[in-house]
């Protein structure tokens, strides 16, 4: 991995300008006493942004994120030019690039920095996808904060960070950050780094959904998808908030980008989706599901205390598999999936599990998470089948038992949970059924056994070999309505209030 050393260069004229700019008091009122950093961004033309920052605390380490990229061994750091650091007396401080997006000052700490950020990220192919980094579209620039702002992630978690942008007249900024006059206020380094924003001519749309202000902005090439997704933006936040009995932060920004592959990335209170362009109507079920899946991650991780996650892959069967199943369940209940597509989606989950067992032979569900991409089918399929079987079983007694079992996970004070801790907590509200179903799926449940288990709940599963799966729903029987995955659909709810 090549290392880049950024040499100190001092330009006295520019230095004096910054001395003036950043010797303005950071702490000017009681309310602002917790401001930990102030960033000033100016677009200077030719895809270049001038960034200046002043820190309340002496800072010796600054980070960008680092993603693998073809054509960019330096990752996001290669877009940073002429980084300079200064101490509290505005004396230059040497700063060196170490590796993987990390810079360190050499002899003294820095109280302010300046650099140019060049929006040249489209010259590389990013392994995680450009939605995790940055891209230019139409006459606008999309960035994830940790590809743009050099940040010390050890700063206080909720310390205030102020941002000011100086942009051309016709430009707008779309971000999930709050505004206070001309200043954007961000709480904590994570909220700055782990969020996406757009600057440029692109215009966003905003929709108020309950307490939540939802803003979305689309690349022109995917504008038809943005229109098709409007019902999803209108209905799902309500369905998710009702399911979890809580909603994430008051603002949520969604960015739709054009690409040659469909995928998405979720951040703190924003997320981005890239769509295979030109758009094909036939692909709509895939991007609708991807969007709804990413939204579900935000609700799971941020409503109430959020579900705390311990590092490592032992809980991916839960975070990905349950998310996939809940996405289908709540899309159906919001009338965003019809009966036929719901059946196909459930068949896909079961098939994915069966195929995953053949791909990841001898690998347990928790261990599979350590190699997520190799065991993708087993993790997503296995986790979703656990959720499906548990919901089928618990719903036989109460239509809200599965929901309440999951809500319990969000009230653990954000304690980091691994796969076993998740199971223990679910057992507390399922009389131990969560672990029992997990064990069966982990050991290997045949398609015949899955058919037997789901038949009683009104889902008829037929299969052949490991890759043919057909699903049909029985007629509703009082509380058990498999067609609605055991809950009431939006149209039924509206119908019942009309009667």
Q: Looking at beta carbons only, is 49 or 316 nearer to Zn ion?
A: 316
Q: Looking at beta carbons only, is 263 or 442 nearer to Zn ion?
A: 263
Q: How far is the CB of 391 from Zn ion (least distance, A)?
A: 19
Q: How far is the CB of 356 from Zn ion (least distance, A)?
A: 16
User: How much helix, strand and coil, in percent to the nearest 5, is found in the chain?
Assistant: 40, 30, 35
Q: Looking at beta carbons only, is 114 or 132 nearer to Zn ion?
A: 132
- Structure-token pair, residue 130: 């450009």
Do residues 444 and 437 touch, judged by C-beta distance below 8 A?
A: no
* Distances, alpha carbon 204 to alpha carbons 76, 195, 207, 251, in Å: 26, 16, 10, 13
Q: How far is the CB of 293 from Zn ion (least distance, A)?
A: 5
Q: How far is the CB of 380 from Zn ion (least distance, A)?
A: 8
Query: What 3-state class would DSSP assign to 16?
Result: helix
459 phi, psi to nearest 5 deg = -110, 115
Q: How far is the CB of 372 from Zn ion (least distance, A)?
A: 10
152, 151, 12: which is closest to 92 by C-alpha? Answer: 12
Residue nearest to Zn ion (CB): 320
* CA pseudo-torsion sign 305, 162, 167, 151: negative
Q: Looking at beta carbons only, is 83 or 365 nearer to Zn ion?
A: 365
Residue at token pair 């782990």: 194
Contact residues for Zn ion, defined by CB under 5 A: 320
Q: Looking at beta carbons only, is 286 or 479 nearer to Zn ion?
A: 286
Q: How far is the CB of 12 from Zn ion (least distance, A)?
A: 51
Q: How far is the CB of 221 from Zn ion (least distance, A)?
A: 24
460 phi, psi to nearest 5 deg = -95, 115
Q: Looking at beta carbons only, is 106 or 127 nearer to Zn ion?
A: 127
Q: Looking at beta carbons only, is 117 or 326 nearer to Zn ion?
A: 326
Q: How far is the CB of 371 from Zn ion (least distance, A)?
A: 16
Q: How far is the CB of 297 from Zn ion (least distance, A)?
A: 5
- Structure-token pair, residue 87: 């101490």
Q: Looking at beta carbons only, is 365 or 461 nearer to Zn ion?
A: 365
Q: Looking at beta carbons only, is 63 or 320 nearer to Zn ion?
A: 320
Instruction: List residues bridging with 172 in a β-sheet.
Output: 200
Query: What 3-state class would DSSP assign to 422?
Result: helix
Burial 135-158 (b: 16+ CB within 10 A, else e): bbbeebbbbbbbbbbbbbeebeee
Indicate the helix (H) or strand (E) that contains 442: helix 433-443
Burial 413-437 (b: 16+ CB within 10 A, else e): eeeebbbebbbebbbebbeebbebb
């Amino acid at each position: 991995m090549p290392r880049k050393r950024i040499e100190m260069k001092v330009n006295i004229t520019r230095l004096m300008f910054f001395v003036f700019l950043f010797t303005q008091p950071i702490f000017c009122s009681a309310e602002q006493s917790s401001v930990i950093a102030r960033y000033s961004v100016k677009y200077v033309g030719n895809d270049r942004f001038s960034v200046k920052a002043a820190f309340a605390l002496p800072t010796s380490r600054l980070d960008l994120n680092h993603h693998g990229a073809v054509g960019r061994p330096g990752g996001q750091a290669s877009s940073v030019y002429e980084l300079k650091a200064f101490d509290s007396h505005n004396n230059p401080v040497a700063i060196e690039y170490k590796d993987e997006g990390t810079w360190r000052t050499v002899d003294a700490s820095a109280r302010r920095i300046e650099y140019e950020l060049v929006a040249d990220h489209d010259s590389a192919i990013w392994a995680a996808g450009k939605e995790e980094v940055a891209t230019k579209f139409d006459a606008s620039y999309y960035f994830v904060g940790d590809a743009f702002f050099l940040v010390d992630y050890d700063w206080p978690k909720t310390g205030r960070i102020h941002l000011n942008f100086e942009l051309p007249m016709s430009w707008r900024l779309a971000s999930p950050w709050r505004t206070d006059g001309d200043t954007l206020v961000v709480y904590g380094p994570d909220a700055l780094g782990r969020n996406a924003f757009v600057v440029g001519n692109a215009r966003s749309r905003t929709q108020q959904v309950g307490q939540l202000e939802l803003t979305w902005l689309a690349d022109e090439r995917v504008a038809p998808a943005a229109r098709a997704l409007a019902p999803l933006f209108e209905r799902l936040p309500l369905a998710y908030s009702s399911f979890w009995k809580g909603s994430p932060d008051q603002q949520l920004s969604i960015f739709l980008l054009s690409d040659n592959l469909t995928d998405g990335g979720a951040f703190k209170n924003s997320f981005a989706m890239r769509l295979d362009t030109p758009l094909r109507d036939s692909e709509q079920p895939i991007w609708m599901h991807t969007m709804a899946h990413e939204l579900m991650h935000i609700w799971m991780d941020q409503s109430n205390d959020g579900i705390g996650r311990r590092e490592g892959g032992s809980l991916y069967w839960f975070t990905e598999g349950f998310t996939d199943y809940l996405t289908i369940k709540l899309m159906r209940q919001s009338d965003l999936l019809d009966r036929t597509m719901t059946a196909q989606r459930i068949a896909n989950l079961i098939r994915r599990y069966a195929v995953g067992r053949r791909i990841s032979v001898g690998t347990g569900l928790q261990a599979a998470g350590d190699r997520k991409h190799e065991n993708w089918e087993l993790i997503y399929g296995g986790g979703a089948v656990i959720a499906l079987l548990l919901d089928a079983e618990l719903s036989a007694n109460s239509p809200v038992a599965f929901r309440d079992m999951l809500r319990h996970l969000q009230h653990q004070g954000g304690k980091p949970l691994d796969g076993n801790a998740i199971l223990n907590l679910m057992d507390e509200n399922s009389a131990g059924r969560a672990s029992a179903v997990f064990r069966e799926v982990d050991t290997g449940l045949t398609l015949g056994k899955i058919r037997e288990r789901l038949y009683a709940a009104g889902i008829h599963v037929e299969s052949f070999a490991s890759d043919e799966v057909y699903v049909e729903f029985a007629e509703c029987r009082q509380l058990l309505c498999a067609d609605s995955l055991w809950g009431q659909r939006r149209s039924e709810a509206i119908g019942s209030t009309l009667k």
